[in-house]
């Protein structure tokens, strides 16, 4: 995508071209584009893995996959979707948009930024290489423990576990570098007059995400390193026979893992209100309340982790504490929902694709949040836990709340990034296909969970057949609909109707004051905010 | 309009296909214990509350979507730049409602459920121990008449049905049937101790409402009190390796009198097996018995033919250990010999000491040495295994 314009040609006559441009670039937009492209590719890789799973689960009996391979696909699907699709998409937008939104020429630490990106492809290769190695008779495939790495299963596992541990280390370093860069940029490079409480909401979401990443990634890195030494160097952190405890790993993992779900979502909670205000032609409601709620969620995120393993056994006071603190998350979240809807209320709404995605996102993420509230109930969680009910719940939060949010952002900013309008017709078709097939994929999974189907099983009892069949068919529709998304993006990058600077009639904010596409160095002169 | 048509069509198709299997479960299965009844109650209540919240909020949004449109020439109002007090007041209203819902309407029943769930000891009249292993459950009765009863429960769906590409008719309880059912008396509160030998497992019978992770090296507790006689089925629900989908649970709840009969019969059966350990077996009997034991317990990893799945699971055909000596010159079994490996396991190879009895171990070892393409020629007698255990 060589979208930089003629206007600023002389400025970057000395930039390397071709592959070297991308390898060595320190430009925030180039790096953002690389993150986004990488994310899109990995989204399809992770997606095709899970379509293989859905094909296997189409009917009872084993048809296509061995149970070992099935388990590997599940874990790698999740790691790819979380760390290589959703996370880099949010980082890609941060790179592209944060300097534009705060009136900065670039990110504060451009070389670090380059590094942050180029750690990603190797880690994606590390994650998937064991599949290829197994074809040549080396090792027995990728990590087969699910994305959660629980020992002792992960201590027992093959080289796939080691590969995944190193991949997680690299991904972690990449995330921390990206976070440091964002924190430094937001604290130092805001346009004169832009106080913290005037920052765009997207910047706020990312600031809190960045702090959460810096706080929790080291814990994950520590936990998987302990796992590595248990596997190879005779330590017994997680082995009762040597005085360790397998459940300790779960505490460490989820101390990172729960904040991680907010890490993935806070950036989305940042730009969705911006989309809502644009298409409601009315400033967002309750800016301050939203900022405080984001902080509250960031704080609560690090104190609720044990709700992911209530059934592992805990003293009653601990169960009660984690139950009530989890329920408390619904309070700031409700404030956010209230503000989002109040922003739309009595606006003058129009429903271009970004707005469709944003509104659909509110509804579907709402289902994810409400089922989360129910999951917090310890006694009922004994039933929901590790059943398909949980699978449905976290896809409402991660696919709808995460990926569909990212899609809203993509359509919203694509004209700014490429300088062309995408096809509105295809965009809308993409939305409806996605929204409908998403629900048809995951609503049946709620019922499967209630009926007693455990997650992570390659074959199932006959009573679960019908819902699985519906879910599988819908999953394929969902998967193939995403080709429209790619087609729309690629053709928009290639050409199309010229986009104006403001792009959307109701768009407000610094990024819309620059030409579409913006010049190579975004703001050479810092705008002044009154 | 186009869009509404599409949604309508989607819903119609969905409803039509759901109607086709009317007896399908839409909610938790019928509870059989007080805990499951409580769970269902709490679940229904919370689902109703969250459902109402969802519908109310959705309705408001949909109203706005249709009324406050640009295409209808709706002019945006300016939210009166609210004084901070007003802003706080407005955002505090949903806050207050939720506080009530979370911590009173939902929070108080949830508290009682937790306390009930964790109270494993009060009024418990018997104790059983459940041990999870890759990929089977072992049940042991710890006290009362049944004390000492101990057996392993394996998936009993025929292997060809679970094999890849099976086209025929599957059993009614495909993947949810086992050879030895756990038997419990109706109406008694049973304290359940849970542990594992290798990795995490989770013993879950949906109609009991209890599920607890079995952690190797630790004892976890839960309880069940089955109120209605019947057969109940469940599954392991903690990923435990390739056989995770193949370790079901079947529980028979019997009225006390029948339960007592079962206990007596089971004790007799176990006594007979123990007596079998003292007699001298013929090679044919050991081989025949060994084949059954092997296919039930070992074939998942080492395969029916003994070819294994290298590199993860070694072949037994031609294996140095399976063809090597069992006992050393001092009459004790050799470290890293055949019997040692089966009794104690190593790394991923499980220990069978606590799972198989003397006769079963003797048979399976004899079978491995003289079947599966091996021909060592010797036999191992149950009495030798019994002695080796001391
Ligand atoms: C905000 C976005 C959210 C995301 C991305 C998210 C994601 C997830 C994920 C990935 C799991 C699966 C854990 C596993 O592997 O077993 C999960 C489970 C859970 N979530 Fe969420 N969640 C979100 C919101 C919430 C909310 C708002 C609540 C409660 C108020 C909540 C409560 C829970 C609970 C209690 C579980 C544990 C269920 C179980 O394992 O039995 N979640 N969530
Ligand atoms: Cu969590
Ligand atoms: Cu399992």
CATH number at residue B111: 1.10.287
Percent of chain B that is helix, strand, coil (3-state, to 5): 45, 15, 40
Which residue is listed with tokens 């980082």?
A: A91
Is B121 an 8 Å CB contact of chain A?
no
Of A397, A404, A453, the one to substitute when testing ligand 1's pocket (max ligand atoms within 8 A of C-beta) is A397
Give bridge partners of residue B216 from the DSSP assignment: B196
Check if A439 has its Cβ closer than 6 Å to any atom of ligand 1: no
pLDDT tens-digit map of A62-108:
888 889 899 999 999 999 999 999 999 999 999 999 998 998 888 88
Kindly report the pTM of this predicted structure: 0.85
User: Among B274, B307, B336, where does a domain finish?
Assistant: B274
The token duo for A468 is 């699985």
* Chain B residues lying within 8 Å of A457, measured CB to CB: 235, 244-245
| Inside any domain, residue B14 | no
Q: How far apart are CA A47 and CA A486, in angstroms?
A: 14
Residue A453 exposed, middle or buried by CB count within 10 Å (0-12, 13-18, 19+)? buried
Q: In what order do the strands lie in the sheet with B182-185?
A: B182-185, B248-254, B230-236, B201-205, B210-214
Facing residue for A289 by CB, picked from B14, B91, B204 = B91
Q: What pairing do the DSSP bridges indicate for beta strands B248-254 and B182-185?
A: parallel
> Does A436 contact B10 at a Cβ distance shorter than 8 Å?
yes
Q: What is the CATH number of the domain that holds B136?
A: 2.60.40.420
pLDDT tens-digit map of B237-251:
999 998 999 999 999
Place B7 in a pLDDT band, splitting at 50, 70 and 90. low
User: Among B247, B274, B301, where does a domain finish?
Assistant: B274
Q: Report helix, strand or coil for B213.
A: strand
| Inside any domain, residue B11 | no
Q: How far apart are CA A130 and CA A151, in angstroms?
A: 20
Check if A401 has its Cβ closer than 6 Å to any atom of ligand 1: yes
pLDDT tens-digit map of A393-444:
999 999 999 999 999 999 999 999 999 999 999 999 999 999 999 999 999 9
Give bridge partners of residue B313 from the DSSP assignment: B309
Q: How many domains does chain A have?
A: 1
- B284 and B219 in a common domain: no
| Inside any domain, residue B12 | no
* Chain A residues lying within 8 Å of B175, measured CB to CB: 60, 459-461
Ligand nearest to the CA of A454: 3
pLDDT tens-digit map of B354-371:
888 888 999 999 999 998
> Does A288 contact B87 at a Cβ distance shorter than 8 Å?
yes
Check if A308 has its Cβ closer than 6 Å to any atom of ligand 1: yes
* HSE-CB for B76 with a 13 A CA cutoff: 22
Give bridge partners of residue A397 from the DSSP assignment: none
Of A372, A377, A446, the one to substitute when testing ligand 1's pocket (max ligand atoms within 8 A of C-beta) is A372
pLDDT at A432: 96
| Inside any domain, residue A525 | no
- B147 and B83 in a common domain: no
**Complex ipTM:** 0.88
Which of A146, A136, A139, A129 has its CA nearest to residue A72?
Answer: A146
CA distance B171 to chain A (A): 9
Check if A398 has its Cβ closer than 6 Å to any atom of ligand 1: yes
pLDDT at A191: 87
Q: What residues make up the domain containing A232?
A: 33-455+468-513
pLDDT tens-digit map of B68-113:
888 888 777 777 656 677 767 776 777 788 888 888 888 888 898 8
The residue count of chain B comes to 390
Q: Residues 251..310 of B with a Cβ closer than 8 Å to A: which?
A: none
> A73 near A85, Cβ under 8 Å?
no
Which of B264, B268, B263, B231 has its CA nearest to residue B250?
Answer: B231
Q: How far is the CA of A304 from the centre of ligand 2 (A)?
A: 7
Q: Which positions ≥6 away from A323 have C-beta within 8 Å?
A: A307, A310, A376, A377, A378, B110, B114
Work out whether the CA dihedral A429, A435, A440, A442 comes out positive or negative: positive
Least confident of A123-127, A151-155, B13-17: B13-17
Specify the DSSP class assigned to residue B242: T
Give bridge partners of residue A387 from the DSSP assignment: A454
- B321 and B252 in a common domain: no
pLDDT tens-digit map of B257-271:
999 999 999 988 888
Using only C-alpha atoms, chain B has a radius of gyration, in whole angstroms, of: 29
Of A81, A253, A393, A403, the one to substitute when testing ligand 1's pocket (max ligand atoms within 8 A of C-beta) is A393
Is B25 an 8 Å CB contact of chain A?
yes
Can you spell out the DSSP letters for B3-49? HHHHHHHHHHHHHHHHHTTTT--SSSPPP-SHHHHHHHHHHHHHHHH
| Inside any domain, residue B3 | no
* Chain A residues lying within 8 Å of B28, measured CB to CB: 383, 450-452
CA distance B320 to chain A (A): 22
- B270 and B144 in a common domain: yes
pLDDT at A305: 93
Q: Report helix, strand or coil for B177.
A: coil
| Inside any domain, residue B240 | yes
Q: What are phi and psi of B156, to 5 degrees?
A: -115, 5
Is the pLDDT reported for residue A529 higher than 80?
no
Provide, rounded to the nearest whole percent, the portion of chain B with pLDDT above 70.
92
pLDDT tens-digit map of B81-92:
566 777 677 767
Q: How far apart are CA A306 and CA A249, in angstroms?
A: 11
Facing residue for A281 by CB, picked from B76, B198, B234 = B76
Q: What are phi and psi of A406, to 5 degrees?
A: -60, -35
- B342 and B245 in a common domain: no
Q: What is the CATH number of the domain that holds A280?
A: 1.20.210.10
| Inside any domain, residue B8 | no
| Inside any domain, residue A529 | no
pLDDT at A270: 94
| Inside any domain, residue A461 | no
> B368 near B390, Cβ under 8 Å?
no
Q: How far apart are CA B51 and CA B181, in angstroms?
A: 39
Q: How many domains does chain B have?
A: 3
Q: What is the CATH number of the domain that holds B299?
A: 1.10.760.10
Is the pLDDT reported for residue A380 higher than 70?
yes
Is the pLDDT reported for residue A13 higher than 70?
no
Q: What are phi and psi of A47, to 5 degrees?
A: -65, -40
Q: Residues 399..418 of A with a Cβ closer than 8 Å to B: which?
A: none
Q: Which positions ≥6 away from B280 have C-beta within 8 Å?
A: B381, B383
Is the pLDDT reported for residue A248 higher than 60?
yes
Q: What pairing do the DSSP bridges indicate for beta strands B126-133 and B190-196?
A: parallel
Ligand nearest to the CA of B242: 3
Is the pLDDT reported for residue A49 higher than 50?
yes
CA distance A110 to chain B (A): 39
- B150 and B246 in a common domain: yes
Place A8 in a pLDDT band, splitting at 50, 70 and 90. very low
Q: Testing the interface with A: which of B199, B216, B246 to mutate, by most A Cβ within 10 A?
A: B199
pLDDT tens-digit map of B275-316:
777 788 888 889 998 998 998 888 888 998 999 888 788 999
Is the pLDDT reported for residue B159 higher than 50?
yes
pLDDT at A72: 92
Computed over every residue of chain B, the mean pLDDT equals 86
Average pLDDT value for residue range A120-149: 87
Q: Say how many CB pairs under 8 Å bridge A and B.
A: 300
Q: How far apart are CA B234 and CA B173, in angstroms?
A: 11
Is the pLDDT reported for residue A2 higher than 80?
no
Which of A164, A172, A163, A161 has its CA nearest to residue A230?
Answer: A161
- B346 and B244 in a common domain: no
The token duo for A399 is 């696919």
| Inside any domain, residue B154 | yes
Q: Of ligand 1's atoms, which has the minimum distance to the CA of residue A369?
A: 27
User: DSSP H helical segments within A399-423, as ranges?
Assistant: 405-418
> A414 near A381, Cβ under 8 Å?
no
pLDDT at A95: 92
- B76 and B138 in a common domain: no
| Inside any domain, residue B23 | no
User: Among B244, B274, B304, where does a domain finish?
Assistant: B274
Is the pLDDT reported for residue A302 higher than 70?
yes
> A46 near A52, Cβ under 8 Å?
no
Strand residue runs (E) in A278-363: none
Specify the DSSP class assigned to residue A526: P
The token duo for A98 is 């944060």
- B131 and B244 in a common domain: yes
Q: How far apart are CA A456 and CA B240, in angstroms?
A: 10
Place B334 in a pLDDT band, splitting at 50, 70 and 90. confident
Provide, rounded to the nearest whole percent, the portion of chain A with pLDDT above 90.
65
Q: How far apart are CA A11 and CA A147, in angstroms?
A: 46
Is A329 an 8 Å CB contact of chain B?
no
Residue A116 exposed, middle or buried by CB count within 10 Å (0-12, 13-18, 19+)? buried
Q: What residues make up the domain containing B55?
A: 28-118
Give bridge partners of residue B151 from the DSSP assignment: B139
Q: How far apart are CA A417 and CA A410, in angstroms?
A: 9
- B78 and B151 in a common domain: no
């Amino acid at each position: 995508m060589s979208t930089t314009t003629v206007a600023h040609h002389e400025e970057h006559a000395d930039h390397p071209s071709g592959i070297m441009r991308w390898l060595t670039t320190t430009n925030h937009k180039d790096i953002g584009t690389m993150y986004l492209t990488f994310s899109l590719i990995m989204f399809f890789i992770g997606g095709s893995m899970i379509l293989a799973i859905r094909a296997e689960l189409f009917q009872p009996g084993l048809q296509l996959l061995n149970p070992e391979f099935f388990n590997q696909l599940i874990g790698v699907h999740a790691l790819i979707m979380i760390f290589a699709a959703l996370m880099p998409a949010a980082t890609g937008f941060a790179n592209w948009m944060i300097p534009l939104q705060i009136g900065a020429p670039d990110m504060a630490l451009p070389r670090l930024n380059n590094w942050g990106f180029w750690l990603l492809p190797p880690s994606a290769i590390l994650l998937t290489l064991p599949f290829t190695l197994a074809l040549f008779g080396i090792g027995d495939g990728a990590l087969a423990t699910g994305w959660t790495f629980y020992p002792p299963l992960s201590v027992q596992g093959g080289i796939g576990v080691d590969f995944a541990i190193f991949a997680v280390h690299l991904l972690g370093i990449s995330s921390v570098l990206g976070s440091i860069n964002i924190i430094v940029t937001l604290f130092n490079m805001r346009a004169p007059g832009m106080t913290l409480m005037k920052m765009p909401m997207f910047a706020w979401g990312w600031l809190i995400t960045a702090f959460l990443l810096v706080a929790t990634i080291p814990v994950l890195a520590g936990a998987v390193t302990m796992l590595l030494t248990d596997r190879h160097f005779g330590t017994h952190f997680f082995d009762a026979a040597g005085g360790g405890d397998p459940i300790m790993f779960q505490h460490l993992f989820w101390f990172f893992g729960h904040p991680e779900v907010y890490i993935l979502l806070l950036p989305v909670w940042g730009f969705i209100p911006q989309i809502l205000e644009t298409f409601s032609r009315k400033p967002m409601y309750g800016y301050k309340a939203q900022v405080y709620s984001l902080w509250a969620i960031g704080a609560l995120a690090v104190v609720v982790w044990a709700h992911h393993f209530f059934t592992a056994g805990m003293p009653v006071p601990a169960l009660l504490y984690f139950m009530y603190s989890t329920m408390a998350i619904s309070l700031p979240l409700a404030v956010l929902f209230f503000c989002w809807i109040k922003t739309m209320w009595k606006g003058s709404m129009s429903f271009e694709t970004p707005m469709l995605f944003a509104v659909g996102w509110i509804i579907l993420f709402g289902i994810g949040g409400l089922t989360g509230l129910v999951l917090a109930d310890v006694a009922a969680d004994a039933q929901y836990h590790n059943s398909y009910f949980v699978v449905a719940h976290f896809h409402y939060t991660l696919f709808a709340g995460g990926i569909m949010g990212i899609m809203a952002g993509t359509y919203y900013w694509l004209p700014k990034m490429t300088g062309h309008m995408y096809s509105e017709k295809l965009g809308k078709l993409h939305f409806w296909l996605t929204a409908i097939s998403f629900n048809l994929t995951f609503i049946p999974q709620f019922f499967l969970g209630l009926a007693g189907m455990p997650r992570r099983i390659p074959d199932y009892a006959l009573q679960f057949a019908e819902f699985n069949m519906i879910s599988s068919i819908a999953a394929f529709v969902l998967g193939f609909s995403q080709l429209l998304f790619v087609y729309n993006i690629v053709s928009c990058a290639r050409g199309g109707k010229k986009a104006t600077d403001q792009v959307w009639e109701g768009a407000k904010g610094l990024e819309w004051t620059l030409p579409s596409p913006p010049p190579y160095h975004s703001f050479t002169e810092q705008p002044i905010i009154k | 309009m186009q869009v509404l048509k599409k949604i309508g069509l989607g819903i119609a198709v969905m409803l039509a296909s759901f109607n086709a299997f009317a007896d399908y479960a839409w909610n938790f299965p019928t509870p059989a214990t007080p805990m499951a009844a409580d769970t269902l109650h709490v679940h229904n209540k919370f689902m109703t509350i969250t459902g109402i919240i969802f519908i109310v909020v959705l309705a408001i949004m949909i109203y706005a979507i249709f009324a406050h449109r640009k295409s209808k020439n709706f002019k945006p109002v300016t939210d009166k730049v609210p004084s901070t007090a007003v802003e706080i007041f407005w955002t505090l209203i949903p806050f207050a409602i939720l506080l009530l819902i979370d911590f009173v309407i939902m929070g108080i029943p949830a508290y009682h459920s937790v306390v009930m769930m964790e109270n494993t000891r009060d009024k418990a009249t018997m104790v059983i121990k459940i041990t999870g292993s890759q990929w089977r459950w072992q049940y042991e009765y710890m006290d009362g008449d049944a004390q000492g009863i101990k057996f392993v429960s394996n998936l009993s769906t025929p292997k060809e049905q679970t094999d890849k590409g099976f086209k025929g008719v599957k059993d009614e309880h495909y993947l949810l049937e086992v050879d030895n059912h756990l038997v419990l008396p109706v109406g008694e509160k049973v304290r359940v101790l849970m542990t594992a030998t290798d990795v995490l497992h989770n013993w879950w019978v949906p109609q009991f409402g209890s599920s607890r992770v079995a952690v190797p090296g630790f004892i976890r507790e839960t309880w069940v009190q089955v109120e209605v006689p019947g057969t109940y089925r469940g599954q392991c629900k903690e990923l435990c390796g390739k056989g995770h989908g193949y370790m079901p649970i079947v529980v028979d709840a019997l009225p006390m009198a029948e339960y007592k009969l079962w206990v007596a019969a089971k004790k007799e059966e176990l006594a007979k097996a123990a007596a079998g350990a003292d007699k001298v077996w013929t090679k044919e009997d050991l081989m025949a018995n060994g084949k059954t034991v092997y296919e039930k317990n070992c074939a998942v990893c080492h395969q029916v033919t003994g070819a294994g799945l290298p590199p993860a699971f070694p072949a037994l055909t031609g294996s140095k250990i399976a063809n090597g000596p069992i006992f050393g010159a001092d009459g004790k079994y050799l470290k890293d010999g055949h019997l040692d490996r089966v009794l104690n396991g190593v790394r991923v190879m499980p220990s069978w000491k606590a799972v198989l009895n003397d006769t079963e171990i003797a048979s399976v070892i004899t079978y491995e040495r003289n079947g599966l393409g091996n021909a060592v020629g010797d036999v191992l007698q149950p009495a030798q295994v019994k002695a080796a255990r001391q």
